[in-house]
Structure 1
Amino acid sequence: MVEQFSNTQPIYLQLVQRICRQIVRREVQPGEKLPSVRDLAVVYGVNPNTVQRVNMELERMKIVESRRGQGIYVTEDSSRLALMREQLKEEQITRFADEMNELGYSEEEIVAGVKAFLESKSK
């Protein structure tokens, strides 16, 4: 299955975001080995060099660690993963709030709308 990508952002950054979200959702567990570069390239329908760049970026972010001869593993550093989770939350909230403000909604209207939405989802 070839993944769809947006033209607004480099593919490698989109893949970094997807993998980070998989980790936050616990689809990929701390300490778990990620698929090989070739396997991920096939899954996402991208060049292996793109996947290598993804791995380098994730390693720079300290989300994964490379183990020579063994592969790439998700970090087991719970504080690092918690920080990543908080950063993703802040990005989503900021994007949402900015869009709602651009549409002309007040802070009170946004909060009331979110509360009403969450209440309807819990029923």
Structure 2
Amino acid sequence: MARTTPLLIQIATGDVRPIVKQITDAVRMKIATGELTQGDQLPSVRGLAQQLSINPNTVSKAYAELTTEGWLESRQGLGLYVAKPRQRLSQSERARRFDESMDRFMHDVIPLDYSLEDIQDGIARAFEFHMPRKRA
């Protein structure tokens, strides 16, 4: 029987994203970086809600979204588990999200007046920090 993997995430009250989005983004990132792997069991809705001091309905919505997108799978009577890795988005949706993210990034970074080299170095450092488990 699988043990529940602790889900060490934090909710930022000053974040412009809704709490549901913060949870889904955090879980996606943990799966994408390899911190959570296929078959890992997630905390129960009540357990995570209590940990984060939020309403269980909020956690339930986040888990439902992640399940619908294929990041998690529900096992009847056993809980939620990280699903088998697969391509979850179409190429066009991936491209759309990438372009949208780059546009937001550029609008945030360009006014800071960094050189292209500094921005590239910053991206490389951030990528290395967030993707340590994915390196060969």
**Does the TM-score normalized on the shorter chain lie above 0.5?**
yes
Deviation at 1:19, TM superposition (A): 1.1
* C-alpha distance 8-75 of structure 1, shift in aligned 2 (>3 A): same
Q: Is 1:43 matched up with 2:51?
A: yes
SS of residue in 2 equivalent to 1:43? helix
Unaligned runs of 5+ in 2: 1-7, 129-136
Q: 1:69 aligns with which of 77, 82, 93?
A: 77
Return the TM-score normalized by structure 2: 0.64
- Tell me the amino acid that sits aligned with residue 119 of structure 2: V
Q: Highest CA radius of gyration, 1 or 2?
A: 1
Q: Work out whether residues 69 and 88 of structure 2, in 8 Å CA contact, stay in contact via their aligned partners in 1.
A: no
* C-alpha distance 116-18 of structure 1, shift in aligned 2 (>3 A): closer
Return the TM-score normalized by structure 1: 0.70
How far apart are the structure 2 equivalents of 1:4 and 1:73?
25
- Tell me the amino acid that sits aligned with residue 64 of structure 1: L
- 1 or 2, which has the higher helix percentage? 1
| Pairing 1:22-41 to 2, within 5 Å after superposition | 22-41=30-49
Structure 1 stretches of 4+ moved >6 Å = none
Note the aligned Cα RMSD (angstroms): 3.3
SS of residue in 2 equivalent to 1:79? coil
| Pairing 1:1-123 to 2, within 5 Å after superposition | 3-6=11-14, 8-80=16-88, 90=98, 92-101=101-110, 103=111, 109-110=115-116, 112-117=117-122, 118=124
Unaligned runs of 5+ in 1: none
**Identical residues among aligned pairs (%):** 29
**CA-to-partner distance for each residue in 1:53-93, whole Å, 9 max, x for gaps?**
11111112121111111111111133339x8xx78x93654
